[in-house]
Structures are given as structure tokens and as C-alpha cells.
Amino acid sequence: MLRLSCLSLAAMALAGALAAATALPAAAQELQPHRAVYAVSLLEKGRSGMGAPGTYAFELRQTCEGYVINQRLRLEVDGAKGAAVSEQTSQMTESRDGRKLRFEHNSALNGKPTGQLRGDAALDDDGHGQSLFGEPEGQSVALPRGTLFPNAMTRLTLQHAKAGDVGFDALFFYGEKVKAPQSVNVVIGRVPKRLADLKIPEGGEAVAGNRGRIYYRGAFFDADPKDKNGEAAFEMSSLMLDNGIELYGTHEEGEGGIEYRITHLDPLPKPTCN
């Protein structure tokens, strides 16, 4: 979700938006199962750097119960002791109604594990909920009414865009930290000219050709920010098709960040459910 898909391996101003989020119908906006690969380059003060230091792989599978997200971000960066390879992987399983999430996030540096978070999150009928972590063991986070998990956030963004809305506010959680959900301000706008002709990778036309394109930016704010001046913890942007396939995105923190463009796209089958 970096997309509403979470590239920090991490995204996504109306009070009514939160009410709509908790009442999101399970089949309101189906997402296209697919596998995509992106070339990643560094950003400095919002401008692209030289070369492509990494790759980002994203997979969305649909089951009869919901969706499974697998993603992997690999970056090669220069450090004080030479080049270093950073990897972040995530797997998330989200129910079709957007009320249950199982997550596992892992990070490594030069092949050595540096961190893991895993657990489950669930929302009650009234929209409130809780996340229980297995790693770190025994930790929990309260989820306020209006909290959205990754696919629910993506579906709501698509719904607002198709309705002609210019934006909305929400709360976002996917378990990457033992912290309360982030507040997100999403602004939906016109596709920038520089991205208007972004090509669909060969082989992906069946699910990506002749689809509407949606561009939005999201600012993410921590519940208890270190910066008391109201600055966002990070910002992102995305060019997405109206079936949830992302073509382009950015993830920016401070003066740095990353930019990624799709290079490969494979459709995945939908399940046959009773």
C-alpha cells in the first residue's frame, strides 16, 4: 500500500469518510489478483537519483475468504563501510469484509535478520478493535473506530476516486510497529503529465489495458508524533488502475525517499467459491 499497499514496508476531510470506512461492503470494490515487479530508484528532495538501486515485488492473491498480500523490497545503498543490501518482506492476510488482518513483517541487512513483527488484528461490529502481537510477544494495540487495514484502504480510495471525490481522512494500521494507527489524509487529483503515458508491461494488457487511472497522494501522521509541528511521518503518491493494480509510486520521509515504476505484470487467477 507503499501503496495503500505499504512501501515503508512501510498510503494512504470529512468526518463522514470514517463512517463510510466502517460500513464498507465486502464486495463494494473487488481487486484484481496479480503479481508485479517494480524498478526502484532513490529520491532526494523529491527528485530522482541516479541509477536503480533496487526492486520491489508485490503479489495480491484472492481466496474465498479474502486477500493475501506478499511483498518484498530490496535496496542496495552505500554505507560508511561500503555497499549494503537491505531487504524487507511482508505477508498479510485480510478478510473480504476488511475486519480481520494477520501480518508478518521481516527485515534483514546483508542477509542477517534485523527485525520481525507478527500478529493478528480484528475489528468488532462497532468498528473498534485490537491487535495482538506474537512478536514482540505479549504486546497489543487498541484500534479506534474507523481503522482500515491495507486492502480496505485501497478499496475505499478507489470508491472515492470513482465517485469524483477529491480526498478523505482515515486511520490506517498494518502492524509494522507496535503503535496506534496512523492518521492519513488522502488527496485525489489529476494524473500528472509525466505519468499519463506510463506503459503497461508486455503480457499485462488483459488486466491493465483500457482501465481508468487514478492518482492520489497520502500524508501519514503518527498518533504520538516526535515532531510536534504537525509534520507528516511520511508521504506517498500512487498511480493506480481502477482495479487496484499500481503502476507507479513514491515513498518520502524528510528529504529522502524512493520511487518505483512497474516493469513486469502477471494476472493471477480468481478462486471459484460456492
83-103 tens-digit pLDDT? 889 999 999 999 999 999 999
- Could you tell me which residue, 42 or 52, shows the higher pLDDT? 42
Q: What is the pLDDT of residue 153?
A: 94
Say what the pLDDT of residue 28 is. 53
| Positive or negative: CA dihedral 62, 67, 70, 71 | positive
Would the pLDDT of 21 be above 60? no
The arithmetic mean of pLDDT across residues 199-221, rounded, is: 92
Identify the pLDDT of residue 230: 77
The domain segmentation of the chain, as residue ranges, is 15-267
pLDDT band (50, 70, 90) for residue 20: very low
- The identity of residue 162, as a single letter, is K
Q: What is the mean pLDDT of residues 199-225?
A: 91
Provide the pLDDT for residue 3.
40
**Alpha-carbon span 257 to 40, nearest angstrom:** 10
Q: Report which of residues 225 and 241 the model is more confident about.
A: 241
**Which tens digits make up the pLDDT trace of 114-149?**
999 999 999 999 999 999 999 999 999 999 999 999
Flag whether pLDDT at 231 surpasses 50. yes
Predicted confidence (pLDDT) at residue 203 exceeds the cutoff of 50: yes
pLDDT of residue 52: 53
170-175 mean pLDDT: 96
Burial of 76 (0-12, 13-18, 19+ CB in 10 A): middle
Residue pair 91/106 in contact by the 8 Å Cβ criterion:
no
Q: Name the least confident of 50-64, 95-109, 187-201, 259-273.
A: 50-64
Taking alpha carbons only, the member of 176, 201, 153, 233 closest to residue 39 is: 201
For the entire predicted model, the pTM comes to 0.86
